[in-house]
Structure formats: C-alpha cells, structure tokens
Amino acid sequence: MCFHFEVEQQVNGAFLNFFGFNGTAGVWRIKALEESGGWLERTTVEDMDIAVRAHLNGWKFIFLNDVKVLLCYYQPISIASIASVNIVW
C-alpha cells in the first residue's frame, strides 16, 4: 500500500494522469461531482466509480502527500455506538 501512495498516486498526480480515488481523506469540487452524475450507491466501489466518471468528464486529479489537518477526534460514548457505526460501514 505504501508503494501505491508514495509512487503511483504521486507520479500520476504530478502529471495530471488518472489515478483511482480511494475514498480516504479526499476532497472533491462540488461541481465535479455534479457534472459527473453524483455519488451513486449502485456500486460497491463508489469512490472509484465517481473517479472514473469525473475523469471521463475532463476533470483532473492531484495527489497531495504533505497536507496537514487539524484532527478533531470523536470518541464514541459507548460500545453500542461503535457497533451502530460498524453496521453502517
């Protein structure tokens, strides 16, 4: 997985080539989502599905490996609340 992020996505991002969006910490322009038909739940790989459709609509992707974000950590209040989130995912 390290190769995937450190080489494949960074190189493709640098040259504005297509690379698969894998849903983790990605940021999208709303216009790109709208013009590409939106986030569809008809597939088990929604992230790759929207990435392919956006690419086919002319949108370009970049990969930023050095982004720093302030993490607001949410701590579940009970085991039951953790279980309910896991059911959704």
Asked if 23 and 47 count as a contact pair (C-beta separation under 8 A), the reply is yes
pLDDT of 29 > 70? The answer is yes
Question: Given pLDDT bands bounded at 50, 70 and 90, which one contains residue 32?
Answer: very high
Stated pTM of the model: 0.60
Residue among 28, 26, 22, 14 nearest 59 (CA): 28
pLDDT of 89 > 60? The answer is no
| Domain chopping of the chain, boundaries | 2-88
Residue by residue, DSSP assigns 35-83 as: HTT---SSSS-HHHHHHHHHHHTT------S-----------SSHHHHH
Would you tell me how many other CB atoms lie within 10 Å of the CB of residue 22?
15
Q: What is the pLDDT of residues 34-78, one digit of tens each?
A: 999 988 877 778 888 888 899 899 998 877 777 776 766 666 667
